[in-house]
Every structure is written in C-alpha cells, then in structure tokens.
C-alpha cells in the first residue's frame, strides 16, 4: 500500500490477509528484515474523491499517527507526510519520499 522513508525512518503500510491495515516503522539504522521499532494495527483509510490523496490513520496510546500519501502523476514519486499528534494536540511532522519496495517483500 505504502512504502516511504527519510533519513531517520522507513515506514511500510500494508493490508494483512485479514483486511486489517498495519503500520510498520524502522529506524533507518535497522534493516527492514529486522523486527520493526513500532507496529500499529487497526488503521483506517480515507481516500480523496479525486483519488489523488490517501490518508492512513492509526492510534497508539494517547497519540494519533497519520500518514498522508499525495500521488504524483507518474505514481513513482509520491510524497508522504507523517504526523504524530499527542494528547495535548502537539504535532510533529516529517516529509518522506516514496521508496521502491525490495523484491524480497513482494
């Protein structure tokens, strides 16, 4: 569904065989073959009417994790914005770029 990263993190969002939406995050220093540093489950998806943006939302403890995927015309260079909102409504945002999914994950 989504695979993105920046200089600090690699994030993968997938749909499990049960239909559940899952968020996996690794620190950049770790291989994606290693156990993720954070796993969030039971995500929900919201698509824009035009189909140009998708929002994935997950809840963990008292925080909301939102990943917004903005589709590019070529579908090869989508942009991702990851936002974490805490219980006091303080937000941290990261801009990430689409990454190629390694063949061993397909």
Q: What is the pLDDT of residue 105?
A: 67
Q: Which of 50, 68, 47 is nearest to 4 (CA)?
A: 68
pLDDT average, residue stretch 98-105? 80
> Which residues span the domain enclosing 40?
2-105
Domain count, the chain: 1
pLDDT average, residue stretch 16-42? 95
Q: What is the pLDDT of residue 106?
A: 59
């Amino acid at each position: 569904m989504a695979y993105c990263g920046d200089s600090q993190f690699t994030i993968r969002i997938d749909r499990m065989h049960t239909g559940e939406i899952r968020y996996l995050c690794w620190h950049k220093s770790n291989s994606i073959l290693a156990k993720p540093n954070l796993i969030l489950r039971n995500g929900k998806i919201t698509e824009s009417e035009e189909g140009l943006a998708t929002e994935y939302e997950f809840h963990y403890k008292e925080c909301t994790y939102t990943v917004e995927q903005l589709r590019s015309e070529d579908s090869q260079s989508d942009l991702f914005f990851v936002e974490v909102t805490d219980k006091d409504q303080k937000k941290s945002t990261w801009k990430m770029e689409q990454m190629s999914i390694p063949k061993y994950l397909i």
